[in-house]
Structure 1
Amino acid sequence: FGLSVREMAARWAVLGLLAACMTSAAKKSVLNMCMDAKHHKTEPGPEGALHDQCVLWKDNACCTANTSMEAHQDQSYLYNFNWNHCGVMPDKCKQHFIQDTCLYECSPNLGPWIDQADTSWRRERILNVPLCKEDCELWWEDCKDAITCKENWHKGWNWTSGTNRCPRGSICQPFKYVFPRPADLCEKIWSNSYKYTTEHRGGGRCIQMWFDPANGNPNVAVAKYYAQNGRDASPAPRAVLLLLPAALLSLL
């Protein structure tokens, strides 16, 4: 290559500096980002008019006010999904699904768990987000007597009417039989979008669907912890690739 030892050392020093800068920038990116999905904003920012349960994210949100309104409808234009596919879902159960929707649509703190998605309606999804024990168990407790016909709500529905209906041969039965444990509900219902944990709210190691915004958003610290320690804490691949400079490649 015709390079002196000094020139080679200089190039490796620059390589190391660029790599360090890239890693730092990637971590900052995943701490405040929106996934590439159907209704998400390109970048997070203030949304002062977020509706009802989504108001927790008004200071920095990936959703618009209109999206937050639709998140509260029994069958909204967001995904034409009907909570009442096996009869009317009890309100105490429905509030958890609304909160789940608000977290998914509005939170800018899910970067460490953003993954690629090969679907017609989104290019990215969340995978294995560590959900706090209380959030998962209260969700199950309030929904155990609600009725459904499916374990995985992401796929397998009959959509011929334009909204989700139970597939032929399925049986409507209480959640507690479809999802015998809280972990079954939280992990299986959305294809492992969430992961059940024994971590508690306020401990900085699990994502909260529910929190008091007057005390700040606890998920900021949780995202920072996992971004720094790996995805079970690693930064999202997209964030790293977008930050990889051409100059770094030219040195390899």
Structure 2
Amino acid sequence: MAWKTTWLLFLLVGVAAVWTARPRTELLNVCMNAKHHKEKPGPEDKLHEQCSPWKKNACCSVNTSQEAHKDISYLYRFNWDHCGKMKPACKHHFIQDTCLYECSPNLGPWIQEVNQSWRKERFLNVPLCKEDCQIWWEDCRTSYTCKTNWHKGWNWTSGYNQCPVRAACHRFDFYFPTPAALCDEIWSHSYKVSNYGRGSGRCIQMWFDPAQGNPNEEVARFYAETMSGAGLHEAWPLRFGLVLMLLWPLS
């Protein structure tokens, strides 16, 4: 009986260690394990143009920020003009989206592991401020595309993405009839349009004035605290139930 008790104690210690909520700091000021991200965020004084708001603390290098502004750049060989020339105002948003993806250290609460050849992590359901999504859609609605999900399904035989066979080019508002359709679907639910607006502290801003600080730091902190607290609260009933289940045969 003594050896059983000892074994169960070791098992319970292991279970407790696995189920303990992740420290909140793991969700803050972190970079994704992805293709071009730095291992840790830090200053990058010469970030290029639209990526410059992150220069005080960035997950992207100067070179990555420069490539983010180019068509069919070495980053992903992605062709924005796959259905004719994308309007500059529309492309402006996709460049900003790329800068947020590559440079932001404030997406930790939404990072998920993935099994992909080009990255080990992605972000999922980032609450994008409703104004940022609305303006993105308005500026892109009269540009053209041939797909609703830009993460997959392209023809890459030329070395960059082209529309697959039988995929017709239509205006954005054909494939994305609402702002939410665009922001939620275009990158496989990387974003989820928030009901909150800019400055609320509850949604991620794609655009911000660095002179006023990075508002996404507060947002990440709020969600990290919420997630960590919920994880700890939800884990205890499971742990307690397992303790009873394992100790019952000894009674």
The interval holding the TM-score normalised by the smaller chain is 0.7 to 0.9
What is the letter of the counterpart of residue 175 of structure 2?
A: V
1:55 equivalent in structure 2:
52
What is the letter of the counterpart of residue 220 of structure 2?
A: A
Distance 2:23 2:53 in 1: 26
- Tell me, yes or no, if structure 1 residue 34 matches structure 2 residue 26: no
- Tell me, yes or no, if structure 1 residue 84 matches structure 2 residue 90: no
1:180 equivalent in structure 2:
177
Q: Could you tell me the TM-score, scaled by structure 1's length?
A: 0.83
Secondary structure of the corresponding residue to residue 208 of structure 2: coil
Aligned match for 2:104, one of 103, 107, 111: 107
5 Å-filtered alignment, 1:24-173, equals 26-173=23-170
**Identical aligned pairs, as a percentage?**
62
* Bigger Rg, which one: 2
Q: 1:89 to 1:181 in 2, by over 3 A?
A: same
Check the 8 A contact 1:154/1:191 in 2, yes or no. yes
Post-superposition offset of 1:230: 2.2
Post-superposition offset of 1:29: 2.2
Query: What is the aligned residue count?
Result: 224
Check the 8 A contact 1:112/1:234 in 2, yes or no. no
Distance 1:226 1:132 in 2: 14
What is the letter of the counterpart of residue 168 of structure 1?
A: V
Post-superposition offset of 1:234: 6.7
Check the 8 A contact 1:226/1:234 in 2, yes or no. no
Aligned match for 2:224, one of 223, 227, 234: 227
Post-superposition offset of 1:28: 1.3
Check the 8 A contact 1:227/1:234 in 2, yes or no. no
Check the 8 A contact 1:128/1:194 in 2, yes or no. yes
Residues 137-193 of structure 1: CA deviation (Å, up to 9, x unaligned)? 000000000000000000000000000000000100100111000000001000000
1:244 equivalent in structure 2:
none
1:210 equivalent in structure 2:
207
Q: What are structure 2's unaligned runs of at least 5 residues?
A: 3-11, 233-251
RMSD (Å), alpha carbons: 2.5
Which ranges of 4 or more aligned residues in structure 1 deviate by more than 6 Å? Answer: none
